[in-house]
Chain A
Amino acid sequence: MSAFVYLDHAATTPLAPEVASAMAPYLAAEFGNPSARHPLGVRAAQALDRARAQLARALLVPAAQVVFTSGGTEAANLAVLGLARASRPRHVLVGATEHACVRACTAQLAREGFEVERIALAAEGGVDLDAFARQLRPETALVAHMAVNNEFGTIAPLARMSKLMRARAKEARLVVDAVQALGKLDCAASELGWDALIVSAHKLGGPKGAGACVFARELAVQAIAFGGGQEHGLRPGTENVPAIVGFGAAVERAEAARARNLTHVARLRARMLEHLRALPGLRVIAPGEAVLPHILAFSALGAPAEVVLHHLEQRGVYVSTGSACQTLSKSLSPGLSAIGLGEDEIRRVLRVSFGAETSTEDVDAAARALLDVAHELSGQVS
């Protein structure tokens, strides 16, 4: 049993031991540059090809459509900026609860003269499909929407959104941020209808420093960085071979166990909710029609989530308040305010996120700690 209970898998996951083993040779003897022409280089290039095939098989695309990047943010930049700049139409639709990296990219497009519009939400917080249909135009260049929200786990109706696009915005590309979804939901191009997919290794047992922008087929893309021509010229620079090898191994491992893990995590979530019923004023934040069970966002206690988080860490339980990237900025989570939460409530939202290796004992211990903290803080909130 480890010294702490880790319930922050939506921020990052521990490196899976078999992934670390797969990476090990490339951190030691197999140090070749994949562009080098001697056997050491050729073996490194083959290692990249294996990882590319592992990702392509999971997403049902040709291996040549996988562009490895340094992570999700760089992949988002390539997908959003690269596709929009290469398109003739200039209208962009972006999800209301996107991750900061996608929002920042569409904000850049707005500065470049694109007309950027937010996708409408229904009252319950999911995408309003009727309104979305009306927002689509023949001159829509790009629709950017996440597969699974990182703050509360809402699963977007991407299959239906892509069908609406085919009829109303024939030139539009669907860019999907699947950073939270890969390895947990079926993210194949055929299932979700995306044109470009943004994925990251470290959310599914892989290492930090590897991600990919995957295209469903040959598309016009403008490069956003320039150099030696690696990754079809779309991501120049010597490849991070060990991390990419780890990414491939992590994807294969997660895909093989996907159905089993989903059942396991759904049980964990139900068990956690069972425990949390004892909290006065519990409100589960689960907008839309479906949420991924890996993420459970809720508000309950009167105390700020930040204070609860540090009291939990004192008891060895690590959780999160909203998106980890935003805890340093004083601005409130745009995602939580987009789904209609007030400032006071946003400050009280905690997020616990489970992984395949989370046990029922972990959930029980975390729930006990949470009830204990609620008891301790109940006298101090005035």
Chain B
Amino acid sequence: MSQQGISSGPEAVLVRYGELALKGDNRGEFEQALVRNIRAALEGVVAARVERAHGRIFVFPEGRVEAAARRLQRVFGIASVSPAWGAPSTPEAIERAARPVLEEAFAELPVGRKVPVRIETNRVDKKFPLPSNALDRRVAMHILRDDDPIVVELNHPELVLGIEVRAERTWLFAQRYPGPGGLPVGTLGRVVCLISGGIDSPVAAWMAMKRGCEVLYVTFHSHPYIGDNAKKKVIDLVRVLAPWQRASRLYVVPFAQAQLAIKAIGQDEYRTVLYRRMMQRIASRVAAREHAKALVTGECVGQVASQTLENLACIGAAASLPVLRPLVSFDKHETIARAIALGTYALSAVQEPDCCTLFMPRRPVIRGKLEVCETLEARLDVPALVEDALARAEILDLTPSGW
């Protein structure tokens, strides 16, 4: 691929990122994190050079430009990406380069009518001989032919031919793929997500990542009351989510001993709340060990009987860190729609018990009281149960299941 001549296909990916986040003092940090995350996303898939330049990031893949652009649609912090064609920064070269860029974009539009097009030049190199609107006109004159399905339309274009004129090279593009928005993962620090095999917690983890949190996962596994397929299901879910951040660590915490101890108290209706309080404690300890600043759960107000405000208060009180609940206001169908889009739904929908029927109370408490929880727990050696579970936890560093 020549860096000198007019390219015969897209040779770079132009990455735009959210403007709002740029206003603070942490702009440089933000950009560095984004570049790091872009490199990590492309690693092993596309060999690519990544460069920051004037409020944009340019990715130069060795081949597979389209695949690289599509992959970047799953990097948080990116507003949109465009596969870009290169040309030498002279008016003659630019006008010649414009035509094939538009033609490729046309291929995806319905035929048999005139397509309204606008040309938009951004002159980063102020020494370029023509002002932006003059270059727009010149390129338009060059590409418009009588038999063409193109009309120039400034106000409501269907296609925008973007031209970025830079000193070293000019970039042309007509396609824009939306990015996921949000903030680069890691810029807000680390959180611990309590993940089960259900539909909700993977979506909650994704939403935390979207807001710049690096997510570390904790799952609770009641072997030998449930089988290793339940653990595998959680691993599979984490691996589906793994492309969204650079590294995904999962703690698999053995939980049968804690459940047996809680069951032995004999207060059936409080069992579920007490299980969950134990989970919050263990997750808080994992967070401390891993320097995480908050917990994330898939909890939602009022979705199941245990998710009353009273029960959420009882459960949250056992955590020693703030508990983020990104799904708090979601209806089930909204969560399901996100899970489908993420690709976790099909896995979550596989029926695999995540709690043994022997541990499920017949009638769980609806409005739990914190004093009751604490009185019941006084009969347990809570710190010993927490430390024992943590000591036997299995730590897995997981890689993406697809690309």
Interface residues of A (CB under 8 A from B): 303-304, 306-307, 309-311, 313-314, 327-330, 380-381
- Contact between A310 and B351 (Cβ–Cβ < 8 Å)? no
- Contact between B224 and A307 (Cβ–Cβ < 8 Å)? yes
- Contact between A381 and B358 (Cβ–Cβ < 8 Å)? yes
**With A313-B224, A314-B223 in contact, do A307 and B352 touch (Cβ < 8 Å)?**
no
Given contacts A307-B356, A328-B352, 19 further A-B contacts (CB under 8 A): A304-B356, A304-B357, A306-B227, A306-B353, A306-B356, A307-B224, A307-B226, A310-B223, A310-B225, A311-B224, A311-B225, A314-B223, A327-B229, A328-B229, A328-B350, A328-B351, A380-B260, A380-B263, A380-B358
**With A328-B351, A328-B352 in contact, do A310 and B358 touch (Cβ < 8 Å)?**
no
Instruction: Please list 18 pairs of residues, one from A and one from B, whose beta carbons are closer than 8 Å in the complex, sorted by A's number.
Output: A304-B356, A304-B358, A306-B226, A306-B353, A306-B356, A307-B224, A307-B225, A309-B227, A310-B223, A310-B224, A310-B227, A311-B225, A313-B224, A314-B223, A314-B224, A329-B351, A380-B263, A380-B358
> Which residue on B lies nearest to A313, using beta carbons?
B224
The listed residue with most A CB atoms (<10 A of its CB), out of B224, B225, B226, B353, is B224
- Contact between B223 and A307 (Cβ–Cβ < 8 Å)? no
Residues of A within 8 A of B358 (CB): 303-304, 307, 380-381
> Which residue on B lies nearest to A347, using beta carbons?
B357
Chain B contact residues: over half helix, strand or loop, or mixed?
loop
Tell me, in angstroms, the Cα distance from A309 to B229 when the chains sit together. Answer: 13
> Which residue on A lies nearest to B350, using beta carbons?
A328
Closest 6 CB pairs of A and B: A310-B224, A314-B224, A330-B351, A311-B224, A310-B227, A307-B225
> Which residue on A lies nearest to B352, using beta carbons?
A328
Tell me, in angstroms, the Cα distance from A311 to B227 when the chains sit together. Answer: 9
Tell me, in angstroms, the Cα distance from A213 to B223 when the chains sit together. Answer: 41
Cβ < 8 Å to A, chain B residues 352-373: 352-353, 356-358
Interface residues of B (CB under 8 A from A): 223-227, 229, 260, 263, 350-353, 356-358
Distance between B3 CB and nearest chain A CB, rounded to angstroms = 45
Tell me, in angstroms, the Cα distance from A178 to B391 when the chains sit together. Answer: 49
The listed residue with most A CB atoms (<10 A of its CB), out of B260, B350, B358, is B358
Distance between B118 CB and nearest chain A CB, rounded to angstroms = 51
The listed residue with most B CB atoms (<10 A of its CB), out of A303, A306, A310, A380, is A310
Tell me, in angstroms, the Cα distance from A310 to B231 when the chains sit together. Answer: 13
Residues of B within 8 A of A307 (CB): 224-226, 356, 358
Residues of B within 8 A of A330 (CB): 351
Tell me, in angstroms, the Cα distance from A30 to B279 when the chains sit together. Answer: 56
> Which residue on B lies nearest to A309, using beta carbons?
B227
Distance between A7 CB and nearest chain B CB, rounded to angstroms = 16
Tell me, in angstroms, the Cα distance from A65 to B131 when the chains sit together. Answer: 81
Tell me, in angstroms, the Cα distance from A307 to B224 when the chains sit together. Answer: 7
Tell me, in angstroms, the Cα distance from A309 to B350 when the chains sit together. Answer: 20
Residues of B within 8 A of A380 (CB): 260, 263, 358
Distance between A181 CB and nearest chain B CB, rounded to angstroms = 29
> Which residue on A lies nearest to B224, using beta carbons?
A310
Tell me, in angstroms, the Cα distance from A381 to B225 when the chains sit together. Answer: 12
> Which residue on B lies nearest to A330, using beta carbons?
B351
Tell me, in angstroms, the Cα distance from A313 to B260 when the chains sit together. Answer: 19
Residues of B within 8 A of A327 (CB): 229
> Which residue on B lies nearest to A308, using beta carbons?
B224
> Which residue on A lies nearest to B226, using beta carbons?
A310
> Which residue on A lies nearest to B260, using beta carbons?
A380
Tell me, in angstroms, the Cα distance from A353 to B333 when the chains sit together. Answer: 44
Distance between A327 CB and nearest chain B CB, rounded to angstroms = 8
Residues of A within 8 A of B223 (CB): 310, 314
Residues of B within 8 A of A310 (CB): 223-227
Tell me, in angstroms, the Cα distance from A50 to B351 when the chains sit together. Answer: 44
Tell me, in angstroms, the Cα distance from A327 to B357 when the chains sit together. Answer: 16
> Which residue on B lies nearest to A329, using beta carbons?
B351
> Which residue on B lies nearest to A331, using beta carbons?
B351
Distance between A294 CB and nearest chain B CB, rounded to angstroms = 24
Residues of B within 8 A of A311 (CB): 224-225
> Which residue on B lies nearest to A379, using beta carbons?
B264
Distance between B95 CB and nearest chain A CB, rounded to angstroms = 52
Tell me, in angstroms, the Cα distance from A19 to B223 when the chains sit together. Answer: 36
> Which residue on B lies nearest to A311, using beta carbons?
B224
Residues of A within 8 A of B225 (CB): 307, 310-311
Tell me, in angstroms, the Cα distance from A304 to B353 when the chains sit together. Answer: 12
Tell me, in angstroms, the Cα distance from A307 to B352 when the chains sit together. Answer: 13
Residues of A within 8 A of B353 (CB): 306
> Which residue on A lies nearest to B362, using beta carbons?
A382
Residues of B within 8 A of A306 (CB): 226-227, 353, 356
Tell me, in angstroms, the Cα distance from A313 to B229 when the chains sit together. Answer: 13
Residues of B within 8 A of A309 (CB): 227
Residues of A within 8 A of B351 (CB): 328-330
Residues of A within 8 A of B260 (CB): 380
Distance between B334 CB and nearest chain A CB, rounded to angstroms = 25
Tell me, in angstroms, the Cα distance from A131 to B367 when the chains sit together. Answer: 58
Residues of B within 8 A of A304 (CB): 356-358
Residues of A within 8 A of B357 (CB): 304
The listed residue with most B CB atoms (<10 A of its CB), out of A306, A307, A328, A380, is A307
Distance between A30 CB and nearest chain B CB, rounded to angstroms = 35
Residues of B within 8 A of A329 (CB): 351
Residues of A within 8 A of B226 (CB): 306-307, 310
Tell me, in angstroms, the Cα distance from A328 to B230 when the chains sit together. Answer: 10
> Which residue on B lies nearest to A304, using beta carbons?
B357
Tell me, in angstroms, the Cα distance from A322 to B310 when the chains sit together. Answer: 42
Distance between B264 CB and nearest chain A CB, rounded to angstroms = 9
Tell me, in angstroms, the Cα distance from A307 to B358 when the chains sit together. Answer: 9
> Which residue on A lies nearest to B357, using beta carbons?
A304
